[in-house]
């Protein structure tokens, strides 16, 4: 190695060229470029340092690391970082020690940025050109070539290239991180999560764990006046005690000063050991991020890009959280809406913690009437008052939502969400617009434990329970049971099937003769609806008529039955049965429909059926609801000449005086009372009473469901002569009715 030393001495000692005046003005704040000298000859080390010692590249001085063997170099390299250039002796312990080390640096340590300059004492030791390329060796010089000037230029260009590589790698890494950070941040909802994400992403971006916090003005005021008005919205570990606090609580003057500087100068502040990033006008406010770290020039650029990305992102976040708010919250009361409730509900159902959890719907009684009577504004205030009361009773311990106009939902433990507790909320009157308003509510509940359905089903089933409670009586409650669900779902299924059947003309009308028992001659017929499904089975009217009524389908279907009956009546009259009457059943929903009279008139005029032979059968319970409307409608009907009878008489609650006012033409004794007349008893006291009643009111009476001769005889003995029943005829199709009439008359 001695000859190398000699060369080195020659090549590297240029003391005379050192000129103190040329000593660079080094900015001490900036880290120096780290140069590693690996050479088994100590003289080479000192000579190199001597040659490069005062060199300054881009205002940064050089500092040196020394290794005297390849193995020592390995140790140093695996613990040190940011080494810009390695000046490496090719031949050390072994002939190829240098190249092996290069391999180790690039492959094993994965250091691709560090520039490597190989030095060899003799040209003969030159590595293969392939090695130079494969190992990304910056330069290869014989030591004799490396005069001070040459060493200077070689190292300078190596450092430049190192810097470039670093910035490319950094910006690649940075861009990648920024892109990842942005997408990750975008998925976070709300400012708080977003801010926590920002801290996390900055740490990732700068490649080290950074402590800090994010703060913004408390109000939506765009600019903070002073750092004291800032509120910490997200913090890293060491600042966690600051979370949610105003920064005037911060017991650190220095941090406060830094923030103050940023607030007043409206700029980001970069100090030696900490930084304040300022995000301007993001989502209507400025946001400040305090970081407990200095930031290098290069990192500043990264952070710049990051910040502008974040600003856009944060604006989006705020936009999405506003959208989120619109999508999930009820603007009137500020409570969660139906969608939000469904979300919470499905979380509850999926969590497996639904034991003892109850979902309840609370429906305010008579809200629609109140709303109509006192105006929508009053109605809104009422709802807000209810929301507020519910919130103060259940707010912190239950999920509360407004899921419909006057329907609230509560989700929580059984001990809290109980009919008793909910009813309590309504005990005291509500103060609305300085008026005391006494409200009551109907409550439907579902126990989520062992609940099989999803969240939407649970809500529907609670609704079913609510409807059930409403149907029974106001201001009551009902827990959902499985049967209710089965029943209701079956009803819904049937409703769809019925609509399809009506559209596809699978409904038809049959006619059951009504006779005078004394002469056995036909006096009329009752039109009865039939539904034959596609597979040929009949659905009993007792099953589908209530569904048609419930769904409103009865209005169209009923009109069609009426028209069919009128046309059939006309044809029968044309056939010569001119005394024949036609009874048609009319439901409440039809009857109270505003176009009912019109459709009746049209059926009469278009069929040219005689009005006085048409008889509408209304039920006794109908006669009891809304008597005003009934009396008015009946008056119109009678003016047309159409007759009215009360069906199923005796099952309702009509009072005698009421009956008189209705001015009906006929009472129809319910089958149940006819049934009382049997082999063991021929009492039939109710039937008898009804007959007497009709006599005293001077109206006609007919018995339905007459199945036996005994019943017929008994009824006649009471003075009832008209009847309808299997004893005489079942309901018949049009054609069968005609044959039956042909046979029965005479």
Task: State the residues that interact with ligand C2E by CB under 6 A.
Answer: 512, 527-529, 540-542, 545, 558, 561, 585-587, 617, 647-648, 671, 704-707, 724-726, 731
Place of tokens 């009457």: 581
What is the Cα–Cα distance from 154 to 140, expressed in whole angstroms?
Answer: 10
What order do you get walking across the sheet with 285-291 strand by strand? 230-235, 212-217, 285-291, 275-282, 269-270
Concatenating the DSSP letter of every residue in 471-489 gives HH-SS-EEE--HHHHHHHH
Q: Which is nearer to Ca ion, 57 or 720 (CB)?
A: 720
* One residue of 529, 647, 667, 687 binding Ca ion per CB under 5 A: 647
What is the per-residue burial (b if ≥16 Cβ within 10 Å, else e) of 699-725?
Answer: bbbbbbbbbbeebbebbeebebbbbbb
Is 673:720 a contact under the CB 8 Å cutoff?
no
Provide, rounded to whole angstroms, the least separation between the CB of residue 528 and Ca ion.
7
Query: From the list Ca ion, ligand C2E, none, which binds 185 (C-beta under 5 to 8 Å, kind-based)?
Result: none
Give the one entry of ligand C2E, Ca ion, none that residue 512 binds, where binding means its C-beta sits below a cut-off of 5 to 8 angstroms depending on kind: ligand C2E
Task: Decide which of Ca ion, ligand C2E, none touches 529; Cβ closer than 5 to 8 Å per partner kind.
Answer: ligand C2E
Taking CB under 5 A as the criterion, the residue among 648, 700, 706, 720 binding Ca ion is 648
Take residue 163 and report the two structure tokens written for it.
């810097």
Cα gap 459→287, rounded to integer Å:
41
Which of 32-52 are b and which e, b meaning 16 or more Cβ less than 10 Å from the residue's Cβ? bbbbbbbbbbebbbbbbbebb
Interface of this chain with Ca ion, residues 452 to 481, rule: CB under 5 A: none
Nearest by Cα to 31 from 272, 326, 282, 286: 272
Closest CA to 460 of 497, 409, 507: 409
Q: Where are the beta strands (DSSP E) in 268-351?
A: 269-270, 275-282, 285-291
CB nearer to ligand C2E: pick between 585 and 654: 585
Structure tokens at 161: 């290239």
Min dist. Cβ of residue 584 to ligand C2E (A): 7
- 326 versus 508: smaller Cβ distance to ligand C2E: 508
Query: Least distance to ligand C2E from the beta carbon of 585, Å?
Result: 3
- The least distance separating Ca ion from the CB of residue 680, rounded to whole angstroms, comes to 24
Residue whose CB is less far from Ca ion, 212 or 705: 705
Task: Return the one option of Ca ion, ligand C2E, none that residue 542 interacts with (CB less than 5 to 8 A, by type).
Answer: ligand C2E
Q: How many CA atoms lie within 13 A of 476 on its CB side?
A: 11
Residue at token pair 């500043």: 300
Q: Which stretch binds Ca ion (CB under 5 A): 75-83, 176-184, 385-393, 648-656?
A: 648-656
**Considering the complex, what minimum distance in angstroms separates the CB of residue 616 from ligand C2E?**
10
Of 231-239, 263-271, 588-596, 611-619, which part binds Ca ion (CB under 5 A)? 611-619
When asked if residue 607 is in the footprint of Ca ion (CB under 5 A), the reply is no
Of residues 260 and 617, the one with the C-beta less far from Ca ion: 617
Quote the least distance from Cβ 619 to ligand C2E, whole Å. 7
528 contact, one of Ca ion, ligand C2E, none, CB 5-8 Å limit per kind: ligand C2E
In the list Ca ion, ligand C2E, none, the entry touching 524 (Cβ below 5 to 8 angstroms by class) is none
Nearer to ligand C2E, 215 or 706 (CB): 706
Dihedral class, residue 549 (left if φ above 0, else alpha if ψ from -120 to 50, else beta): alpha
CA 561 to chain CA centroid, nearest Å: 45
- By beta-carbon proximity to ligand C2E, the closer residue of 286 and 617 is 617
DSSP conformation class of 430 = E
Distance of alpha carbon 599 from alpha carbon 90, whole angstroms: 109
Q: Least separation, in Å, of the C-beta of 634 and Ca ion?
A: 17
Q: How far is the CB of 527 from Ca ion (least distance, A)?
A: 9
Candidate segments 100-108, 451-459, 609-617, 732-740, binder of Ca ion by CB under 5 A: 609-617
CA 520 to chain centre: 68
C-alpha 294/C-alpha 272 separation (Å) is 5
Please choose which of Ca ion, ligand C2E, none residue 314 contacts, taking the beta carbon within 5 to 8 angstroms, the exact cut-off set by kind.
Answer: none
Question: How near is the Cβ of 193 to ligand C2E at its closest, in Å?
Answer: 59
Residue closer to ligand C2E (CB basis): 419 or 524: 524
Which of the listed partners (Ca ion, ligand C2E, none) does 725 bind, with a CB threshold of 5 to 8 Å by partner kind? ligand C2E
Note the Cα 86 to chain centre separation in Å.
Answer: 60
318 binds, among Ca ion, ligand C2E, none (CB under 5 to 8 A by kind): none
Residue with smaller CB distance to ligand C2E, 182 or 585? 585
Region label for 733, one of left (φ > 0), alpha (ψ between -120 and 50) or beta (otherwise): beta
Which CB, 469 or 623, lies closer to Ca ion? 623
CB of 530 to ligand C2E, least distance (A): 7
List 286, 568, 617, 620, residue binding Ca ion (CB under 5 A):
617
Least distance to Ca ion from the beta carbon of 648, Å? 4
* Nearer residue to ligand C2E within complex by CB, 362 or 703: 703
| Alpha-carbon span 560 to 566, nearest angstrom | 10
CA distances in angstroms from 648 to 288, 440, 544, listed in the order given? 79, 34, 18
- In the region spanning residues 533 to 592, those forming contacts with Ca ion, defined by CB under 5 A, are 585
CB 417 within 8 A of CB 360: yes
CA distance 685 to 676: 8
Which of 274/648 has CB closer to Ca ion?
648
Shortest CB 345 distance to Ca ion, Å: 45
Least CB distance to Ca ion at residue 585 (A): 5
Angstrom distance (rounded) from CA 702 to CA 260:
96
Shortest separation between residue 540's beta carbon and Ca ion, angstroms: 14
- Residue 541: which of ligand C2E, Ca ion, none does it interact with, CB under 5 to 8 A by kind? ligand C2E
Rg (alpha carbons) of the chain, rounded to whole number: 48
Q: Are strands 269-270 and 230-235 parallel, antiparallel or unpaired?
A: unpaired
Sites of contact with Ca ion (CB under 5 A): 585, 617, 647-648
């Amino acid at each position: 190695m001695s000859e190398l030393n000699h060369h080195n001495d020659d090549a590297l000692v240029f003391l005379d060229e050192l000129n103190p005046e040329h000593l660079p003005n080094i900015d001490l704040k900036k880290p120096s470029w780290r140069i590693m000298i690996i050479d088994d000859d100590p003289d080479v080390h000192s000579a190199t340092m001597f040659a490069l010692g005062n060199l300054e590249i881009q205002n940064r001085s050089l500092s040196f690391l020394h290794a005297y063997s390849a193995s020592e170099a390995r140790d140093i390299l695996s613990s040190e970082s940011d080494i810009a250039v390695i000046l490496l002796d090719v031949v050390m312990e072994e002939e190829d020690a240098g190249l092996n080390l290069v391999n180790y640096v690039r492959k094993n340590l994965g250091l691709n940025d560090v520039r490597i300059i190989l030095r060899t004492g003799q040209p003969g030791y030159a590595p293969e050109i392939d090695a130079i390329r494969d190992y990304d060796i910056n330069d290869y010089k014989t030591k004799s070539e490396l005069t001070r000037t040459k060493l200077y230029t070689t190292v300078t260009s190596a450092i430049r290239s190192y810097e470039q590589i670093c910035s490319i790698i950094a910006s690649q890494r940075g861009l990648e991180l920024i892109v990842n950070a942005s997408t990750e941040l975008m998925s976070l909802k709300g400012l708080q999560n977003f801010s926590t994400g920002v801290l996390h992403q900055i740490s990732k971006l700068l490649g080290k764990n950074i402590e800090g916090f994010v703060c913004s003005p408390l109000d939506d005021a765009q600019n903070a006046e002073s750092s004291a008005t800032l509120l910490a919205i997200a913090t890293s570990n060491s600042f966690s005690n600051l979370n949610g606090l105003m920064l005037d609580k911060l017991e650190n003057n220095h941090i406060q000063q830094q923030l103050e500087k940023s607030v007043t100068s409206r700029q980001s502040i970069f100090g030696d050991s900490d930084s304040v990033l300022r995000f301007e006008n993001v989502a209507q406010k400025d946001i400040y991020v305090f970081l407990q770290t200095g930031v290098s020039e290069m990192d500043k650029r990264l952070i710049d890009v990051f910040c502008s990305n974040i600003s856009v992102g944060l604006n989006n976040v705020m936009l999405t959280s506003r959208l989120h708010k619109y999508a999930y919250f009820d603007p009137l009361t500020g409570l969660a809406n139906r969608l939000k409730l469904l979300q919470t509900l499905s979380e509850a159902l999926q969590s497996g913690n639904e034991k003892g959890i109850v979902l309840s719907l609370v429906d305010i009684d008579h809200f629609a009437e109140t709303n109509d009577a006192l105006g929508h504004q009053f109605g809104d205030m009422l709802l807000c008052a209810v929301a507020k009361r519910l919130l103060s009773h259940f707010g912190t311990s239950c999920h509360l939502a407004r899921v419909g106009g006057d329907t609230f939902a509560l989700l929580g433990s059984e001990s809290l969400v109980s009919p008793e507790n909910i009813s309590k909320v309504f005990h005291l009157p509500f103060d609305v617009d300085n008026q005391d308003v006494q409200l009551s509510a109907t409550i439907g509940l579902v126990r989520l434990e062992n609940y099989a359905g999803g969240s939407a089903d649970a809500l529907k089933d609670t609704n079913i329970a609510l409807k059930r409670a409403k149907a029974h009586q106001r201001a009551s409650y009902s827990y959902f049971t499985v049967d209710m669900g089965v029943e209701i779902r079956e009803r819904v299924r049937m409703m769809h099937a019925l609509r399809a059947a009506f559209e596809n003309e699978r409904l038809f009308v049959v006619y059951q003769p009504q006779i005078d028992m004394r002469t056995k001659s036909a006096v009329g017929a009752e039109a009865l609806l039939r539904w034959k499904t596609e597979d040929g089975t009949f659905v009993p009217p007792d099953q589908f008529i209530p569904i048609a009524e419930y769904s409103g389908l009865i209005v169209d279907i009923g009109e069609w039955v009426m028209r069919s009956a009128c046309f059939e009546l006309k044809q029968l009259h044309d056939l010569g049965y001119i005394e024949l009457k036609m009874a048609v059943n009319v439901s409440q929903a039809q009857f109270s429909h505003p176009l009912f009279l019109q459709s009746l008139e049209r059926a009469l005029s278009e069929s040219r059926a005689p009005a006085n032979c048409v008889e509408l059968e209304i039920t006794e319970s109908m006669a009891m609801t809304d008597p005003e409307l009934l009396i008015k409608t009946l008056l119109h009907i009678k003016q047309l000449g159409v007759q009215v009878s009360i069906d199923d008489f005796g099952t309702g609650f009509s009072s005698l005086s009421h009956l008189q006012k209705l001015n009906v033409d006929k009472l129809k004794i319910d089958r149940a009372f006819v049934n009382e007349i049997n082999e063991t008893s021929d009492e039939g006291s109710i039937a008898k009473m009804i007959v007497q009643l009709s006599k005293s009111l001077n109206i006609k009476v007919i018995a339905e469901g007459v199945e036996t001769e005994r019943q017929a005889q008994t009824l006649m003995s009471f003075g009832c002569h008209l009847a309808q029943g299997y004893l005489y005829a079942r309901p018949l199709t049009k054609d069968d009715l005609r044959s039956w009439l042909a046979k029965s008359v005479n």
